Amino acid sequence: MAVREVLRMGHPVLAQVAQPVEDFGPELEALLADMKDTMAAEDGAGLAAPQIGVSRRVVIFGVAKNPRYPDAEEVPFTVLVNPVITFLSQEGEDGWEGCLSVPGLRGVVRRCVKLRYTGFDEKGRPIDRVAEGFHARVVQHECDHLDGILYPMRMHDMSLFGFTDVLFPDMDPRQED
């Protein structure tokens, strides 16, 4: 188990379409241990395997009460392997996002407000959930990483893109991203 370096925007692995996991064995277990350590160390809302240089379809996410997202609902800690998203609403909602691979910046992204996600947990047991609001946003952000998409590529108004400490001067600087 180790805290791994988080790759930053521009690294080619972040632009790749990641490969499905076929074996729920020790290799996946080791990857998830590193991902959990890294997400905890960086205090992130989620992390995708490509962000630590592993081009596999694995994401983790979860938000306890976090001062970084004062309006955010809690999101249960989830390991999601080979995810599939089905959108359940035509409605989009704008919201601020940050990303550990785009440090120091925030931007407004429009995301679908309600979706279903399926996939597998770390033991290969099926997951099938409906999510709304912030939970749905986090799932969309993390799963985008598996298709080589970073949130700035989803933005429709670049005037709503800036440095976190300039946009939100009152935010605790430890909560950079």
18 counts as binding Ni ion under rule CB under 5 A: no
99 counts as binding Ni ion under rule CB under 5 A: yes
Tell me the Cα Rg of the chain. 15
Q: Which of 63, 121, 127 is nearest to 97 (CA)?
A: 63
Residue 104-143 contact track with Ni ion, rule CB under 5 A, x = bound: ----------------------------------------
**3 state SS of 141:** helix
CB closer to Ni ion, 82 vs 141: 141
CA distance linking residue 14 with residue 150, whole number of Å: 8
Q: Which residue minimizes CB distance to Ni ion? A: 99
Q: Name beta bridge partners: 47.
A: 60
CB closer to Ni ion, 58 vs 99: 99
Question: Do 48 and 146 touch, CB atoms closer than 8 A?
Answer: yes
| Residue from 22, 29, 73, 142 carrying the catalytic annotation | 142
Is 142 an active-site residue? yes
CA distance linking residue 147 with residue 49, whole number of Å: 11
Least separation in angstroms between CB 124 and Ni ion: 25
Stretch of residues binding Ni ion (CB under 5 A), selected from 24-32, 64-72, 97-105, 159-167 = 97-105
Chain residues in the site for Ni ion (CB under 5 A):
99
